Amino acid sequence: MKHTVIPSVNVFVVRDDKILLGRRADTGWMDGYLCPPGGHVEPYETPRLAMLREIREELGVDIDPADLEFVCVAVRNTTPTEYVGYEFAINDKGYEFYNAEPDKCSELVWADVKELPDDIVAHFNEIITEGLLGGTPYLEIGY
């Protein structure tokens, strides 16, 4: 039996022990909750190129590809969909990010990276804690 696994990307922007999160709105999935910027990898697009595109679309900035740091791969079961997430980080590089998709994100929030808010999507809490902060290069979540 075949099934589909969707490749995705996310970026953790870290500045002064704070992490940039967006509050989902009108997307049909986890609206009202916080999560990092990101999205699906398009056909014939590498995860790195997808991440650069998503940053431009969601945060309104073209970044230097050298500023993207690989964090981990997170395989997520969000039944009925499974994702292979390529997780990246940008440590403070002085970029001026803004909410470039207000139709999908009601606000950007700088949260304490070591005391994440209760309304963050649980999978991303685990990726931040174990992947970004803990250095674990491969995570299986929700299986």
Helix (H) or strand (E) run with residue 18 in it? strand 18-24
pLDDT top residue among 136 and 93: 136
User: Averaged over 112-121, what is the pLDDT?
Assistant: 97
Chain segment 60-109, per-residue pLDDT in tens: 999 999 999 999 999 999 888 899 999 999 998 999 999 999 999 999 99
For residue 29, what pLDDT is reported? 86
Q: Per the structure, how many domains does the chain have?
A: 1
Of 4, 3, 7, 2, nearest in space to 84 by CA: 7
- Whole-number percent of the chain with pLDDT over 90: 88
For residue 3, what pLDDT is reported? 82
One-letter identity of residue 8 = S
Q: Is residue 10 within 8 Å of residue 128, measured between CB atoms?
A: no
Residue 74's domain comprises: 5-141
For residue 59, what pLDDT is reported? 98
CATH code for position 43:
3.90.79.10
Q: Is 128 helix (H, G, I), strand (E, B) or coil?
A: helix
